[in-house]
Amino acid sequence: MSWLCFTLVLAILLSQSINRMTKPDVTIVGAGIIGLATAANLVQRGYHVTIVDREGPAAGASQGNAGAIAWTDVAPLASPGLWKQAIKWLMDPLGPLTVRPAYAVKILPWMLRFMAASNHSQMKRSTEALAALNAEAWPSWERLWRVSGTHNQVRKDGCLELFDTVSSLKDAHLGWEEQRAFGIDVQELDLAAIRDMEPGLSDRVVGGALVPEWAQVDDPKLLCLSLADWLKSQGVVFDVGEVAGVQSKPSGVLVTLADGRTVHPDRLVIACGAWSKKLAAQLGDKIPLDTERGYNITIPEPGVTVNRFIMLPGHGFVLSPLSTGLRVGGAVEFGGLDLPENWKRVDAMVAKARRFFPDLKTEGGKRWMGFRPSIPDSLPVIGAAPQADGVYYAFGHAHHGLTEAAVTGEMITDMIDGATPSVDPNPFRADRF
């Protein structure tokens, strides 16, 4: 009997070894949170993974976001109601939404697509797709946190949405009802309850709501670096290099690096955020991706206590308490990848934040600007490249890259594995435009 057991165990181990040997090699372009989460799912299924990035893990938007797992968000940015507010914001060069004059002509085609995606029928489709994707975001992250040992870097304190005008508070009710329709808990609060939660707030708040299931990581960069360390322990190779070109050939995919090296992976995943558009175009896919430049400041000693993530929708920014300090950030600036930063936008956000927390200090604060890769219909591109066998896209997540990283990684891994993803990938295909 013991020999039989030994033979069975040996057969299982041999089968697993052969399975790993027959799995194709996968190269991922991009060591941000999407690339890291995709690698984490692939390596669990026995794939040999290499991640190529010009700077290494968490060098871009993944290090400077607000740290939210905002799976409770279901509303696309492209919506009919946004235009009334957007026109008002655009009148202020330092407001929540602005277009740099030097970039106005370049962004026009994207804006026209955004307007087209803002009609009621498209908004309904985008909302349903986002709700389906984000419904799997949290359980996907729970699986990844457990296996990677990073579960202690996340907390669920909820998100407090605050308003300082009666009209903006009234407008918010429609969005809250939509969230509730998808089973998301939204608790409207009176001023006394808000004051109990955040005693440091000024008197200008007129109302708000708590979304209790909203979650937050201690620090997005720390999470990325921890995942990278775990991936290295699992045999994932990190290659620092800039991908200059990709080609689809009869023999497979050819990846050319800026230093002259070439790579011939069995499978390729393009997950390099705002820089993905150029690579997809080389494969014949014209993706309408542009960048929302986001600004923030992280203050190690802010002089005020913020107990949980606070969103100020009427002003387009958030206050996010991280392990590294209070991060004040948000806003949207369309200016592409090359124009210099406009740090006055950080100063404007700080000035507005002081209206809500008058004692806020900024000494020792570190300013940052990053590029959110955004698609006009507010849906990322997740799936196989239509014109290149063996290539997969995972980019364009805009404000929800951290939120949707784990579920995106699972979907891409399922596709490479030949399995059916848990989320219908059709709304996110690259040839939908």
Between 89 and 240, the more confident residue is 240
Q: Is residue 85 part of a domain?
A: no
Q: What is the pLDDT of residue 6?
A: 55
Judge contact between 272 and 29, C-beta under 8 A: yes
CA distance 30 to 243: 9
Q: Is residue 63 part of a domain?
A: yes
Q: Is residue 134 part of a domain?
A: yes
For the CA atoms of 25, 30, 32, 38, the dihedral, rounded to the nearest 10 degrees, stands at -30
Q: For residue range 83-92, what is the model confidence (pLDDT) as tens digits?
A: 667 777 777 7
Residue 3 has pLDDT above 70, yes or no: no
* 218-244 average pLDDT score: 98
Cβ count near 124 (within 10 Å): 11
CA distance 329 to 345: 10
- What domain count does the chain have? 1
Q: CATH number of the domain that 236 lies in? A: 3.50.50.60
**Residue 210 to residues 184, 309, 325, Cα–Cα distance (Å):** 11, 10, 22
Q: Is residue 148 part of a domain?
A: yes
Q: For residue range 366-413, what is the model confidence (pLDDT) as tens digits?
A: 999 999 999 999 999 999 999 999 999 999 999 999 999 999 999 999
CA distance 340 to 192: 44
Q: What angle do CA 232, 234, 238 make, to 5 degrees?
A: 30
Between 177 and 95, the more confident residue is 177
CA distance 87 to 378: 19
Q: Is residue 143 part of a domain?
A: yes
Q: Is residue 141 part of a domain?
A: yes
Q: What is the pLDDT of residue 248?
A: 92
- What domain range is 228 assigned to? 25-78+120-153+218-287+377-433
**Residue 263 to residues 29, 133, 234, Cα–Cα distance (Å):** 11, 32, 21
* 125-152 average pLDDT score: 97
Q: Is residue 316 part of a domain?
A: no
The gap between the terminal CA atoms of the chain, to the nearest Å, is: 62
CA distance 294 to 96: 10
Between 268 and 331, the more confident residue is 268
Beta bridge partners of residue 312, listed in sequence order: 317
Beta bridge partners of residue 131, listed in sequence order: none
Q: How confident is the model at residue 79 (pLDDT cuts 50, 70, 90)?
A: confident
Q: Is residue 61 part of a domain?
A: yes
Residue 135 has pLDDT above 50, yes or no: yes
